[in-house]
Amino acid sequence: MTSNATTDSLCEADDKLCISEKKGHEMTKPIAYWYIDCNHRHHLHGIDAPPGINPLEHEDVEMTAQNVQQNIKPSAAAVPQVSTERHHGVFGQVTALEQLYYIKPNDTLNLYRGRMENKNVILRVLKDPATGSEKQRFLGFASFLSELGPHPFIPLVLGVVSVQPPLIIAVEEQKHRDLLGFLWQCRRDNSSCDITEKRIFTMAGQVASALEYLHSRSCIHGNMGARSVLVDEDLTANLWGLGSAYRRRTQVGSPGAVEDMELRKWQAPEVLAARPVSPSSDVWSFGILLYEMVTLGDPPFASIMATELLQHLQRGKFLKRPATCSNTLYSIMKSCCQWNPQRRLSTSELIRTLHTEEKSANGRTVLRVPEPLNLERYMREAGYGEAFNYAVL
């Protein structure tokens, strides 16, 4: 991962860890490409198109995603809908994103970078041919994102191709990709990053604002973590990883249990115990996100097996205060991660606290972590190794 990398790890809510570099090339010949899905991370596959065929070159047709609106539960408040229907011809300079390493291969969707109407976009492309259920889920997610409406700290959906395959969702690009990769970059390249405690309060306040908005729309995120936050060029933090929120909206009565082992160390105790999730479950995970930020991407509960985490928390144990963390920031972490959900900060209280503390936070001392990143150790300590075998390329 280089300091001038401009690609994004745009993921749905079940996203796992992924890092990408700007190593794509024009789609004028068969290529390999990469897509990141939110419950699973995917790996490179050869393209299905015949030799010499650009899979995004099709005749212009009228498109709309409105035909899937009935699959989405109506929200409490109406948000003016803006047409997002597009045709393939509006996408230019399309390049494939190559992965640095992969977890859990899946070849149903792919991720590209391109230009649309003078804007950099990330294209989520459903591979063709696709089954009816795959198309329904893909367009249902597009409709869900549209229904959420705009928010300053949630990436904006700029276009949807819903009729002519391949089906596409175009989302605005965030230059510095996912926050976890950005934190790791700050750890390796001190000259390009200036993460201070004040910056943490600022970015955390932006994420908390987006989270409060989701909760006001009757959505529980379910996958809070640095992997699900995207960082733009001006270091604005944007909440993403909305796949699990979509599934909860469309699968009535879905259990609150952790769907994947590698998410466990970010989940609240009630989720680990397979009890229903609530907005306060997201607040717990937000506290873990603060830990990731102040440690520049350390895994939480590194010495605890994911399968033993619930018992660890039942004994009243919690994360130790990192050396780079002030007492104030650590106090907010602990207030987010109370065992009793009713004792955790509400999102509105969290936002007020972050904004208040931001004013007096240290904005001069840049956070440094002397230990270099060991990817294999991170994967193990974060719980990925307990879930499945992984490969580092």
Domain of 113, CATH number, reads 3.30.200.20
Structure confidence at residue 280 (pLDDT) = 97
Domain identity same for 235 and 272? yes
Q: 114 - beta bridge partners? A: 121
More confident residue, 71 or 381: 381
Structure confidence at residue 21 (pLDDT) = 34
Structure confidence at residue 383 (pLDDT) = 86
Structure confidence at residue 155 (pLDDT) = 92
Structure confidence at residue 177 (pLDDT) = 85
Residue 57's pLDDT band, with cuts at 50, 70 and 90, is: very low
- The first and second tokens of residue 224, run together, are 């809070």
Structure confidence at residue 208 (pLDDT) = 98
Domain identity same for 142 and 199? no
Q: Residues 18, 38: contact at Cβ < 8 Å?
A: no
Domain identity same for 164 and 233? no
Three-state SS for the chain is: CCCCCCCCCCCCCCCCCCCEECCCCECCCCCEEECECCCCECCCEECCCCCCCCCCCCCCCCCCCHHHHHHCCCCCCCCCCCCCECCHHHEEEEEECEECCECCCCCCEEEEEEEECCEEEEEEEECCCCCHHHHHHHHHHHHHHHHHCCCCCCCCEEEEECCCCCCEEEEECCCCCEHHHHHHHHHHCHHHCCCEHHHHHHHHHHHHHHHHHHHHCCCCCCCCCHHHEEECCCCCEEECCCHHHHHHHHCCCCCCCCCCHHHHHHCCHHHHCCCCCCHHHHHHHHHHHHHHHHCCCCCCCCCCCHHHHHHHHHCCCCCCCCCCCCHHHHHHHHHHCCCCHHHCCCHHHHHHHHHHHHHHCCCCCECCCCCCCCHHHHHHHHCHHHHCCCECC
Domain of 208, CATH number, reads 1.10.510.10
Structure confidence at residue 118 (pLDDT) = 86
pTM: 0.76
What are the tens digits of pLDDT across the range 286-337? 999 999 999 999 999 999 999 999 999 999 999 999 999 999 999 999 999 9
Domain identity same for 372 and 330? yes
- Angle at which helices 197-216 and 347-360 cross, to 10°: 160
How many Cβ atoms sit within 10 Å of the Cβ of residue 319?
21
| Last residue of one domain, picked from the residues 136, 156, 172 | 172
Q: Is residue 341 part of a domain?
A: yes
259: pLDDT strictly greater than 80 = no
What are the tens digits of pLDDT across the range 42-52? 332 333 333 33
Q: Which of 98-102, 103-107, 111-115, 387-391 has the lowest mean pLDDT?
A: 387-391
The range of the structural domain enclosing residue 382 comes to 179-387
pLDDT (average), residues 207-226: 95
Domain identity same for 167 and 198? no
Domain identity same for 160 and 215? no
Q: State in Å, rounded, how far the first CA of the chain is from the last one.
A: 12
Residue 357's pLDDT band, with cuts at 50, 70 and 90, is: very high
Q: Is residue 160 part of a domain?
A: yes
217: pLDDT strictly greater than 70 = yes
350: pLDDT strictly greater than 60 = yes
Structure confidence at residue 352 (pLDDT) = 98
102: pLDDT strictly greater than 80 = no
Q: Is residue 150 part of a domain?
A: yes
Mean pLDDT of the chain: 76
Residue 391's pLDDT band, with cuts at 50, 70 and 90, is: very low
169: pLDDT strictly greater than 70 = yes
pLDDT (average), residues 77-99: 64
**Chain CA centroid to CA 242, Å:** 7
CA gap 207, 288 in Å, rounded: 13
Q: Is residue 393 part of a domain?
A: no
Domain identity same for 141 and 246? no
Q: 32 - beta bridge partners? A: 46
More confident residue, 140 or 64: 140
362: pLDDT strictly greater than 70 = yes
11: pLDDT strictly greater than 50 = no
| Last residue of one domain, picked from the residues 112, 146, 172 | 172
Domain identity same for 213 and 79? no
Structure confidence at residue 215 (pLDDT) = 96
CA gap 67, 357 in Å, rounded: 46
Domain identity same for 321 and 212? yes
| Last residue of one domain, picked from the residues 155, 172, 189 | 172
Domain count, the chain: 2
pLDDT (average), residues 240-244: 88
CA gap 199, 235 in Å, rounded: 9
Q: Is residue 119 part of a domain?
A: yes
Tell me what percent of the residues of the chain surpass a pLDDT of 90: 45
